[in-house]
Amino acid sequence: MKKLLYLIVTISLISFSCSEDYLERGSLTQLAEGNFWQNEQDALLGINGIYEVLQDRVMYSGNLNGTAGLPQHDSFADNTFNNYKFEGPGNFVEGRADPSYGFFDTFWTALYRGIGRANNALENIENIPAENIDAENKDALIGQVKFLRALFYFHLAVYFEDVPLITEFQTLEEAYVPKANYSEIRAFIEQELREAAAVLPVSYPASQFGYATRGAALSLLARFELYNGNYQEVVNLTSEIMGLGYSLHPDYGQLFTENAEQSPEIIFSVRFIQDQSDNGETFSSTFLGIPKVNVQPMPNMVDAYLASDGLPISESPLYDPADRKANRDPRLGHSVYFNGDIFLLYLNRPFRGNTATTFGLKKYVRNDVSDDGINPGAPGGQDFYVIRYADVLLMRAEALVETGQFAEVYDLLDQIRQRAGMPTVTDVNGTTLSQEELLDLVKLERRVELAFEGLRFFDVKRWGEVEEAYARAAADPVGPYNPEYRGRRSEVFAIPLSELDANPNLVQNPVWD
């Protein structure tokens, strides 16, 4: 690890800054070791410092004109075009990334910064005197730390695969850690999430909304088990999650706005608040002359949405190629701007179709000034939904298909279709589909339901379909854009060269040698 990383969380002085209250995002504070980690309030404040890492631009805050964050990761596949290729995905997909690429370094460093803070918190919370912290609350706080540490390692496992496994605070002398293999990382993540789920509460008081719950830990575990093909365990986990009180938000169009941030559909989100400083997120920001030009929906993505009769556009008599928005799945209109759509309400400004793809990103993107007069080009206060209940239903549907348990799949898909205002699978396709046909429907539903939420690369990689995704992107009439599939180099990130230079015990992933 970089020496700088460990200076951030050194035992002699906790020098990281964190939100005084993660949920309220108040002023930042410096924490001194001599008078910190003494009681429950200190523990909560220290945990807020871990949550704060999730708000990094390269993590869930995203960017309008800078290093890409996780909300922009659909651009690593075929859903969106990263027009500002220097942000990360564009250059990666076009094959211009190597271990010295700055995006790799920024993402890696943020993930290990979070892990370092988590390790520091665990060590210190364990040592808080019993009389200064309620035992049950202490367990729940430790559960939150383990959930967060598992979330950071989840991203390392998916994107980098074999990485150093660091589970305790380390001094600089102990920092030169070799890689662990993927199976070790996997076992650790699964153990962390099971231990977290065992002690985390199902919910918190409204004033504490946003902290990790049992449902969050179980859902992240289900996502990781799905990634690893452990389908029966996904069925088991989602059964438990479905009994925790979550439900689909009734209005898909409203869901991705601040008005729905505390919907019972949201299982875990990264919280943000908008103010006049740069304290907010930028994944919901947009340029004022053209909608979020750095992240543009791809034509093949637009074509993936069904017609409003539930048929593909290649089969539906309702589809009009001269009006691609008409008679389509309502989620398309909630997610994508078409030529002529008003994308800035306060200016009554229409989108002129003047992006490289001819489409504009609408989902999550603000279209008006805030109540305090902050325009959509400034940092915002939209929470990013890391896991929502619709994803859980789709994970369950996929796992059931993969294990040959078809009966319930129709109802799961129908719930999501009905919420979207679409005909059900049962009505359009019947209930006697083959395993392959059902799996194709699940994959399609994941693509359109979860579009532009940063999960597309996660999906196509675990399905073994990255090359197909690149081919779809390359076939789109978008220029200049030249996706180049390079085998495993298109499926795994390189360990940053700066890390290899700093750590003599760390070796590059063989894919990048």
Show Cβ contacts of residue 319 under 8 Å, excluding neighbours closer than 6 positions: 307, 313, 327, 328
Q: Would you say how long the chain is, in residues? A: 513
Instruction: Please give the domain boundaries of the chain with CATH numbers for all domains.
Output: 40-274+385-508 (1.25.40.390)
Q: Residue 40 and residue 22: Cα distance in Å, rounded? A: 15
Show Cβ contacts of residue 415 under 8 Å, excluding neighbours closer than 6 positions: 248, 393
Show Cβ contacts of residue 374 under 8 Å, excluding neighbours closer than 6 positions: 274, 276, 380
pLDDT at 10 over 70: no
Window from 22-26, 391-395, 506-510 with minimum mean pLDDT: 22-26
pLDDT at 479: 86
Q: What is the rounded average pLDDT for all residues in the chain?
A: 93
pLDDT digits (tens, 9 = 90+) for 334-390: 999 999 999 999 999 999 999 999 999 999 999 999 998 999 999 999 999 999 999
Q: Residue 458 and residue 456: Cα distance in Å, rounded? A: 5
Whether a cis peptide bond, with omega within 30° of 0, leads into 250 is no
- Give the Cα-Cα-Cα angle 222, 470, 493 (nearest 5 degrees): 60
For the chain, the 3-state helix, strand and coil shares in percent, each to the nearest 5, are 50, 5, 45
Q: Specify the pTM.
A: 0.94
pLDDT digits (tens, 9 = 90+) for 111-134: 999 999 999 999 999 999 999 999
CB-based contact 460:447 (threshold 8 Å): no
pLDDT digits (tens, 9 = 90+) for 450-495: 999 999 999 999 999 999 999 999 999 998 999 999 999 999 999 9
Of 10, 327, 416, the residue nearest 174 (C-alpha): 10
pLDDT at 30 over 80: no
pLDDT digits (tens, 9 = 90+) for 409-445: 999 999 999 999 999 999 999 999 999 999 999 999 9
Q: Residue 303: exposed, middle, or buried by beta-carbon count in 10 A (0-12, 13-18, 19+)? A: middle
Pairing of strands 342-344, 295-297: unpaired
Q: Tell me the two tokens of residue 327.
A: 């008679």
pLDDT digits (tens, 9 = 90+) for 253-281: 999 999 999 999 999 999 999 886 677 89
pLDDT digits (tens, 9 = 90+) for 63-93: 999 999 999 999 999 999 999 999 999 999 9
Q: Tell me the two tokens of residue 473.
A: 């992107």
pLDDT band at 171; cut points 50, 70, 90: confident
pLDDT band at 13; cut points 50, 70, 90: very low
pLDDT at 244 over 80: yes
CB-based contact 208:21 (threshold 8 Å): no
pLDDT at 207: 86
pLDDT at 62 over 50: yes
